[in-house]
Structure 1
Amino acid sequence: MLSSFDISIYLNRPEVADAGYLLAAVLFILGIKGMTHPRTAVRGNLLGAMGMLVAVLVTVVKLELMPIGLAGGAMAVGAAIGYVLAVRVQMTEMPQLVALFNGFGGAASLLVAGAEIAQRTSVDVKSVAEETQQLTPDFALLAAGAAGLIGAVTLTGSFIAAGKLQGIPLVDRKPPAGLQVISALLAAATVVLLVLLVLGYMWAFWALLGVAAVLGITLVQPIGGADMPVVISLLNSYSGLAAAAAGFLIDNNVLIIAGSLVGASGLILTNIMCKAMNRSLANVVFGKLEPSADGPSADEVYEGKIKATSPEEVAMLLDGVQRVAIVPGYGMAVAQCQHSVRELADELASRGVTVEYAIHPVAGRMPGHMNVLLAEADVPYDQLKTMEEMNPHFSQVDVVIVLGANDVVNPVANTDPTSPIAGMPILEVDKARTVVVIKRSLSPGFAGIPNPLFAADNCLMLFGDGKQAMVDLVAAVIES
């Protein structure tokens, strides 16, 4: 029988470690592939988690960093924290949690780079004269600098993004003037410090971390809530790039592979979302959605044109229809009324009505936010339709129910070239026979502009809390 020592020696063999890393990489790839479809998303998530478990165990054994028992205890603590977060965090807070996870990923890469720099630094402090004589570039330090730089930006930037989404007053406020100029100066400083680090000045790494941490704050702070889905996706990509750089630094293949996968997928998703908003990435990072000074006011758009309705009137409207489309927005997430939405859809479907959900790619506060909420309510996946699938058919829809969405259904994106959302692809719900909008008030979306859809002849406004409005509507439909 093999002893634990013999097993450790066997697992320490390079070919066994490489095989373990290869298995982990395959599990990562299969995990990402599984998460491309709701039906396989859970399995994909489990495969990715298994891949990370394999990678951690192989690394601990290969490098003999700590006893297996201690490593297992650390993983158990992390798993317990993850379980508590998964159970207690509400779906409305999931974007904030994802942003924090991105920040933790950046912090991990930063710590790896810092440990490597600390190991390379001599115990004896060199004099300035001795340092100036060593100008031979060490490009291995470039990977350390990249991991530290990207990791620090991701860490603080993600925390700011989470704070803005959570509505923390300290960060969710109008940024001071000149912040973008400060960001440009800080970015230039990081380049200088990175060059100094490559030339062998180890102190430059710690200065680089400080500057990069401030840069993460100044980059994300000016960005508004409407662009947060893009920012979260971009920060996710940053965390992957930082991990890949750390992998090059410590010559860890699985870290390079995993970081590259996350970095590439995050950039692809960021590009897709920018196209969905008809904005460039530079415009998201350095620009803001601001209403035009000569745009119409809310009074000009709404005065004397708003038609309020009640759940009973909407129930009568839904009696005898053939096709209904539901457009979920962030208001549905805040109200946590996705289960009531499903109840309404089931009741209509039992009467032979075709019910579909029109999903805008940037609805909510993170990619796929609405899909996740509806999946939580067991909405059949084949009822979820993309913007491209639904737009050609809205003219054939009897009733569209807009639940807490604003900018993504604002027709001025197609009609007003001076609007801040001009050219942004929208769900063209205004072409439907009747539109019912469920909102608390006529308050504007993040673009800060009025929505003429609310004053359209074919639009009815059902004012009130989203959850209570849906409960009352379901009750009225059943009674009718």
Structure 2
Amino acid sequence: MTPTWVQLAYLAAALCFVLALKGLSTPRYARAGNLVGAAGMALAVVVAYVHGVQHNGILIALMIVLGAAVGVPAARSVRMTAVPQMVALFNGVGGAAAALVALTEYGESTDTGVFFAVATVLTVLIGAVSFSGSVVTFLKLQEIMTTRPVLLPGGRYVGIGTAVLALALAVAVLATGSGTLLVLVALAGLALGVLFVLPVGGADVPIAISLLNAFTGLAVAASGYVLANTLLIVAGTLVGASGTILTRLMAQAMGRSLANILFGAFTPRAAAVQSDVDRTVRSGTVEDVAILLGYAHSVLVVPGYGLAVAQAQHAARELAQLLESRGIAVSYGIHPVAGRMPGHMNVLLAEADVPYEHLKELDDVNPGIGSVDVVLVVGANDVVNPGARDEPSSPIYGMPIFDVDRAKAVVFMKRSMRPGFAGVDNTLLYNAKTTMLFGDAKDSLTKLLAAVKQV
């Protein structure tokens, strides 16, 4: 029987997790929500250690200290552009931990009930899939391996065969109670996670991370049944549910079904039609763009991953403030999947004290974008690519975009002509309305700020 004080502490921790999710749903309370969630987790760890540790207490405490010594510096030193990779890696570690705990508990427990066995098998299988899949997403986002979809020979059938094998092994474990077969379930899960993520590429990788996060939540919830720990069940269910909802919202933002995002690489596409767009690129100078901005009445800034890489949010804000001081209306177009994770641009711009009311979503921007004098695209690419709207053969076809090609003028700030994260050429670069301003975003914006002051 769990002592009352432990139950009350777990209830308080669970409430912290719920409040954290509520806070994270809005930029105004996101930081507070994060702190509340961290406090709840700290409470849960302390209570679990004090109440539950009967053996190897010193070793467990040492591992907690070691984990904190690795995790805290990693989280504090990671650049904003690398946060998605860190999230993927930490998420994978959570899945692996759940799987390993279930494997250990299965070998030592005297519980022979079917429910216990089912929960254990699910924890091991889902945790293994989450771990290996998260490692692959980390490698893709870190560009250690190609970000494009990787299709193995007969990959579709290999994946289906591996899934069938994993399920068959799981049933065999339930029938025989074999610990050896459970290890094979874990190995099959590891292979399945790799095969699951390899075909996902480009801008779809963050969606895979969100789905794997939901998988980890399910694994943790199942491990709660294995360990008879109510708080693990609650926490895992919250993570699984919120991860599932986030995955669905991200898929909607891409304008595609989840099945198409995950398995679309296996579907033959129509051959790409040669575009009749003039392939001439018009490159401008900082002075040219300064004149364009200085005499505009309205300016829309569309930030992307390039702004994050260059840490150019403060320079962008300073330029916007200068334009606003001259009576020019400035707003920011925030695409749901801009950057490498949901809310990436919101966080960056909040760091630069950009008023939240200046951030506009797709549905707010596109209806009136034809009246915008200048759209300043800073490091974004796929979210302004007209091919997503006009070219059925494009891998990102159907993804809602900012229709910036319908504005009066476009200034596209990029380092080079290299495609965006989705690996798709952008016809906007060759549009007659577009002026290219090549260079590092922060450096270009700083020079542009000085030039506008002279206009």
**163 and 419 in structure 1: CA distance in 2 versus 1, 3 angstrom threshold:** closer
Contact 1:117 1:202 in 2 (8 A): yes
State the partner residue of 1:347.
Answer: 322
Contact 1:332 1:466 in 2 (8 A): yes
Is 1:273 the equivalent of 2:262?
A: no
Partner Cα separation in structure 2 for residue 369 and residue 171 of structure 1 = 19
Q: Secondary structure at the match of 2:336?
A: coil
Q: For residues 290-318 of structure 1, give each alpha carbon's deviation from its aligned partner in whole angstroms, at most 9, with x where no partner exists.
A: 98533225xx53434x2211111111111
Is 1:256 the equivalent of 2:233?
A: yes
Residue 414 of structure 1: how far off its partner (Å): 2.6
State the partner residue of 2:302.
Answer: 327
Q: Secondary structure at the match of 2:451?
A: helix
Contact 1:171 1:221 in 2 (8 A): no
State the partner residue of 2:32.
Answer: 43
**340 and 328 in structure 1: CA distance in 2 versus 1, 3 angstrom threshold:** same
State the partner residue of 1:133.
Answer: none
> Which has the higher Rg, Structure 1 or Structure 2?
1
Partner Cα separation in structure 1 for residue 180 and residue 164 of structure 2 = 18
Partner Cα separation in structure 2 for residue 450 and residue 205 of structure 1 = 46
1:87 to 49, 54, 76: 76
The TM-score normalised by the length of structure 2 is 0.93
The TM-score normalised by the length of structure 1 is 0.88
Is 1:462 the equivalent of 2:437?
A: yes
Residue 445 of structure 1: how far off its partner (Å): 2.9
Contact 1:407 1:451 in 2 (8 A): yes
Partner Cα separation in structure 1 for residue 23 and residue 272 of structure 2 = 48
**68 and 23 in structure 1: CA distance in 2 versus 1, 3 angstrom threshold:** farther
State the partner residue of 1:245.
Answer: 222
2:116 to 129, 135, 140: 140
**386 and 229 in structure 1: CA distance in 2 versus 1, 3 angstrom threshold:** same
Is 1:65 the equivalent of 2:40?
A: no
Partner Cα separation in structure 2 for residue 430 and residue 313 of structure 1 = 19
State the partner residue of 1:472.
Answer: 447
Partner Cα separation in structure 1 for residue 164 and residue 56 of structure 2 = 43
Partner Cα separation in structure 2 for residue 312 and residue 455 of structure 1 = 21
State the partner residue of 1:294.
Answer: 272
Give the letter for the 1:410 counterpart: N
State the partner residue of 1:181.
Answer: 157
Is 1:400 the equivalent of 2:375?
A: yes
State the partner residue of 1:410.
Answer: 385
1:443 to 418, 429, 438: 418
**Structure 2 unmatched runs, 5+:** none
Q: Secondary structure at the match of 2:376?
A: strand
Residue 376 of structure 1: how far off its partner (Å): 2.6
Residue 383 of structure 1: how far off its partner (Å): 1.6
User: How do residues 381-396 of structure 1 correspond to structure 2 at under 5 angstroms?
Assistant: 381-396=356-371
Partner Cα separation in structure 2 for residue 432 and residue 171 of structure 1 = 31
Partner Cα separation in structure 1 for residue 307 and residue 437 of structure 2 = 14
Partner Cα separation in structure 2 for residue 467 and residue 69 of structure 1 = 49
Partner Cα separation in structure 1 for residue 214 and residue 118 of structure 2 = 19
Partner Cα separation in structure 1 for residue 289 and residue 38 of structure 2 = 46
Q: Secondary structure at the match of 2:273?
A: coil
Partner Cα separation in structure 2 for residue 310 and residue 204 of structure 1 = 66
Contact 1:340 1:470 in 2 (8 A): yes
Q: CA RMSD of the aligned region, Å?
A: 2.4
Partner Cα separation in structure 2 for residue 226 and residue 75 of structure 1 = 35
**77 and 202 in structure 1: CA distance in 2 versus 1, 3 angstrom threshold:** closer
2:131 to 136, 155, 159: 155
State the partner residue of 2:402.
Answer: 427
Give the letter for the 1:330 counterpart: Y
Contact 1:292 1:419 in 2 (8 A): no
Partner Cα separation in structure 2 for residue 101 and residue 172 of structure 1 = 23
Partner Cα separation in structure 2 for residue 350 and residue 71 of structure 1 = 58
Is 1:315 the equivalent of 2:304?
A: no
Q: Secondary structure at the match of 2:277?
A: helix
Residue 46 of structure 1: how far off its partner (Å): 0.8
2:88 to 96, 99, 103: 99
Residue 456 of structure 1: how far off its partner (Å): 2.4
Residue 72 of structure 1: how far off its partner (Å): 5.5
User: How do residues 160-175 of structure 1 correspond to structure 2 at under 5 angstroms?
Assistant: 160-169=136-145, 174-175=150-151
**Structure 1 unmatched runs, 5+:** 1-11, 123-135
Residue 342 of structure 1: how far off its partner (Å): 1.6
Give the letter for the 2:446 counterpart: V
Partner Cα separation in structure 1 for residue 122 and residue 416 of structure 2 = 47
Q: Secondary structure at the match of 1:392?
A: helix
Partner Cα separation in structure 2 for residue 40 and residue 70 of structure 1 = 37
Contact 2:384 2:402 in 1 (8 A): yes
Q: Secondary structure at the match of 2:206?
A: helix
Partner Cα separation in structure 1 for residue 407 and residue 385 of structure 2 = 14
What percent of counterpart residues are identical?
Answer: 48
Contact 1:326 1:400 in 2 (8 A): yes
**44 and 70 in structure 1: CA distance in 2 versus 1, 3 angstrom threshold:** farther
Residue 401 of structure 1: how far off its partner (Å): 0.5
Deviates more, 1:414-423 or 1:250-259: 414-423
